[in-house]
Amino acid sequence: MTDKTAASPIPAREKPWLIRTYSGHSSAAESNRLYRTNLAKGQTGLSIAFDLPTQTGYDSDHPLAKGEVGKVGVPVCHIGDMMTLFEGIPLEKMNTSMTINAPAPWLLSLYIAAAERQGAARSALNGTTQNDIIKEYLSRGTYIFAPQPSLRLTSDVISFTYREVPKWNPMNVCSYHLQEAGATPEQELAFALATSIAVLDTVRPVVPEADFEQVVSRISFFVNAGIRFVTELCKMRAFTELWDEICRERYGIEDEKARRFRYGVQVNSLGLTEQQPENNVYRIILEMLAVVLSKNARARAVQLPAWNEALGLPRPWDQQWSLRLQQIVAYETDLLEFGDIFDGSTEVNRKVEELKAGARDELKRIADMGGAVAAVESSYMKQKLVESNARRLGAIESGEQIVVGVNKWTETEPSPLTTGDGSIMTVDPKAEAEQIERLKAFRAARDQAAVAKAIAGLKSAAAEGRNIMDPSIACAHAGVTGGEWAGTLREVFGEYRAPTGVARAAASVTSDRIGAVRDKVEAISARLGRRVKMLVGKPGLDGHSNGAEQIAVRAKDAGMEVVYEGIRLTPAQIVNAALEEGVHVVGLSILSGSHIPLVTEVLERMRAAGLGDIPVIAGGIIPPEDEKTLLAAGCARIYTPKDYDITAIMGDIVDLLASRAKAA
């Protein structure tokens, strides 16, 4: 007789996705400790965040790197740094994702060289280089070269890895930052797929026809999942179906496995709030569910932001909390015991088809322009993102889009998670100086003749159109630095400044509130005898220009004349522009954590140039104690993520100018 009280057998479960946290800070040694700690806590893959000098091809002691070293990631200048970063972590057994784009060939070369010094074969290495340069021109700003030579470098990586490092994903087509820059779901789909087409069209002629299917099978994607949970779930199903369609119809890929849409995800950081930041935990889990619930479009790897990233750098405990969230969903729930629970859903199918139709329309527009590169160079894609982001922010300001704790239900009890010191982690200011000393010591100890020979080999390969990966790996072993590698290619390819998309952007808002600000601008312009002029500047290497662009567009809406020259400016260039343009106010946007040294230098240079009476305002992720420091240094206003109402910011700036004009 069967015992009906016996426990039911546990159903078979799928293997969960790779569980990662995106991390790195201060130094290679500090980051190595963090990685080994997270792996011991159950993390199953690494996702490396590099600092901005590393991402933009500068050594830690370059003038543009001042204040940026170790802030948003780990500084890796040479093979010694890479060896330290992975000390005690066998690379042949690790799955490593590296968020690196313009210098992707270089960081992959360092990684291969470090693995070889560990005794690992190239063919054993498993992981991903992001290596998506198109989105850098549109959203994140860590490009170095113009689109065509940049695509050539992307192609070099792809055509090298499928032969030499066959388990490596040489490119993550990255739509993540497109959504952060304001992309609608349709734009996110279309812009990312247009990028993949541009890349595959570039690499196709340089690999044997018989190998092209293998090349396509190694292309992966890195996406964003926002708070509109059902739409995001449907977007991923649309991505899967559109990618299959492109692979079949454009490239003739017959193998279903080779056409499979493979992607990793970090859920949305754009929607994380400084106000009531504990609410971000709920946002993060809902966004994660959008990319793991749908089995037919499930993420291969997931990394989650920490609840307090709108406040500053997360602590190890904050990262652990995000790690535990993934583990609970993967191991405690029954999610991995079922097939796709959305197959046959009328609502899901309807939304997927709607998204696909919108994406196809946008893809056709881009194709008619000549493809993704032409759409970048004409500023079409950038302009569309600026306008979409302006509409999003306008909806939040008006209350049409509710953000809990920000524009509705703002009353709150004090959070025990954010009281007192230590609620975020800060990078020790000594870290930059220590990294520079290590870099100088490394340069002094290396074989200079071997370095010169390796650089000459790299330069000739770049100039002659040969694949640069083997020469780059030779450079890594010889002790060449990242700044020297990028500097050599700058000599061959030149540098590039992408269009901002601000000049041609349509008006972001039309309302009585902006009309009232415009009236004030007219009044003060009449008093000054000319139009109020504002300079919006991005000092340092931070390329996240979304906030600066929205300030520039809204200032135009308010009737001001605006000077905005894009990203990556030195304090000296900003002050010189303020002098030459005769501006009335200078606004600085910095999201990399380097606000104190950069804003302070601008203030000092303004005073030295006789512009001390022109107010300087700053915006970014600026902790309260740093606000006090900047205000004491002479900054007139500080705006942080809690100041979501850009029209109110414009009104405040105009009132500031009016009070100063009256006092004068």
Q: Domain check: are 485 and 518 in the same one?
A: no
Strands (E), 490-602: 533-537, 561-564, 585-589
The larger pLDDT score, comparing residue 84 to residue 593, is at 84
Is residue 146 within 8 A of residue 192, CB to CB? The reply is no
Q: Domain check: are 148 and 54 in the same one?
A: yes
Q: Which residues pair with 537 in a beta bridge?
A: 588
Residue 566 confidence (pLDDT)? 85
Residue 315 confidence (pLDDT)? 87
Give the active site residue among 25, 71, 544, 595.
544
Is residue 94 within 8 A of residue 126, CB to CB? The reply is yes
Mean pLDDT of 624-640: 94
R_g of the chain, CA atoms, integer Å: 25
Residue 85 confidence (pLDDT)? 98
Q: Average pLDDT, whole number, for the chain?
A: 92
What is the rounded CA–CA span in Å between residue 615 and residue 461?
50
Asked if the model's pLDDT at residue 419 lies above 90, the reply is no
Say if 258 falls within a structural domain: yes
Residue 463 confidence (pLDDT)? 97
Mean pLDDT of 251-271: 92
Say if 422 falls within a structural domain: no
Q: Of the ranges 73-82, 373-382, 471-480, which one carries the lowest mean pLDDT score?
A: 373-382
Domain boundary among 378, 403, 421: 378
Q: Domain check: are 194 and 262 in the same one?
A: yes
DSSP 8-class letter at 65: G
Q: Domain check: are 438 and 561 in the same one?
A: no
Q: Can 177 be counted among the known catalytic residues?
A: yes
Q: Can 595 be counted among the known catalytic residues?
A: no
Residue 1 confidence (pLDDT)? 44
Asked if the model's pLDDT at residue 323 lies above 90, the reply is yes
Q: Domain check: are 518 and 489 in the same one?
A: no
C-alpha torsion sign, points 254, 257, 258, 259: positive
Q: Domain check: are 352 and 475 in the same one?
A: no
Q: How many domains does the chain divide into?
A: 3
Say if 435 falls within a structural domain: yes
| Parent domain of 53 | 18-378
Q: At what angle do helices 229-249 and 346-369 cross, to 10 degrees?
A: 50
Residue 249 confidence (pLDDT)? 97
CA distance readout (Å), 362 to 127, 148, 286, 356, 365: 31, 22, 28, 10, 5
Instruction: Work out the pLDDT band at 336, boundaries 50, 70, 90.
Output: very high
Q: Can 176 be counted among the known catalytic residues?
A: yes
Contacts 24+ apart (CB under 8 A), 277-283: 277/307, 277/308, 277/310, 277/311, 277/415, 277/417, 277/418, 278/307, 278/415, 278/417, 279/404, 279/405, 280/305, 280/307, 280/308, 280/309, 280/310, 281/307, 281/321, 281/325, 283/227
Which two structure tokens, joined as six digits, stand for 305? 């932001």
Residue 505 confidence (pLDDT)? 64
User: What pLDDT, in 10s, does the model give residues 467-482?
Assistant: 999 999 999 999 999 9
Say if 503 falls within a structural domain: no
**Residue 164 CB partners (closer than 8 Å, separation 6+):** 122, 123, 469
Q: Domain check: are 460 and 350 in the same one?
A: no
Tell me, what CATH number does 547's domain have? 3.40.50.280
Mean pLDDT of 68-88: 96
Give the active site residue among 62, 66, 71, 177.
177
Residue 36 confidence (pLDDT)? 95
User: What pLDDT, in 10s, does the model give residues 507-563?
Assistant: 666 778 889 999 999 999 999 999 999 999 999 898 888 889 889 999 999 999 999
Give the active site residue among 35, 176, 251, 263.
176
Give the active site residue among 62, 66, 538, 595.
538
Q: β-pairing, 561-564 with 585-589? A: unpaired
Say if 425 falls within a structural domain: no
Domain boundary among 493, 525, 548: 493
Say if 579 falls within a structural domain: yes
Say if 321 falls within a structural domain: yes
Q: Domain check: are 373 and 473 in the same one?
A: no
Tell me, what CATH number does 96's domain have? 3.20.20.240
Asked if the model's pLDDT at residue 377 lies above 70, the reply is yes
User: What pLDDT, in 10s, does the model give residues 127-164?
Assistant: 999 999 999 999 888 999 999 999 999 999 999 999 99
Greatest Cα pair distance, the chain, in angstroms, is 99
Q: Domain check: are 537 and 602 in the same one?
A: yes
Q: Domain check: are 24 and 120 in the same one?
A: yes
Give the active site residue among 51, 61, 542, 645.
542
Is residue 225 within 8 A of residue 183, CB to CB? The reply is no
Asked if the model's pLDDT at residue 2 lies above 60, the reply is no
Q: Domain check: are 487 and 526 in the same one?
A: no
User: What pLDDT, in 10s, does the model give residues 224-252?
Assistant: 999 999 999 999 999 999 999 999 999 99
pTM of the model: 0.90
Say if 658 falls within a structural domain: yes
Q: Domain check: are 86 and 211 in the same one?
A: yes
Residue 423 confidence (pLDDT)? 66
Q: Which residues pair with 564 in a beta bridge?
A: 536
Residue 506 confidence (pLDDT)? 63
Domain boundary among 378, 409, 440: 378
Q: Can 538 be counted among the known catalytic residues?
A: yes
**First-to-last CA distance in the chain?**
98
Locus of tokens 């490593």: 96
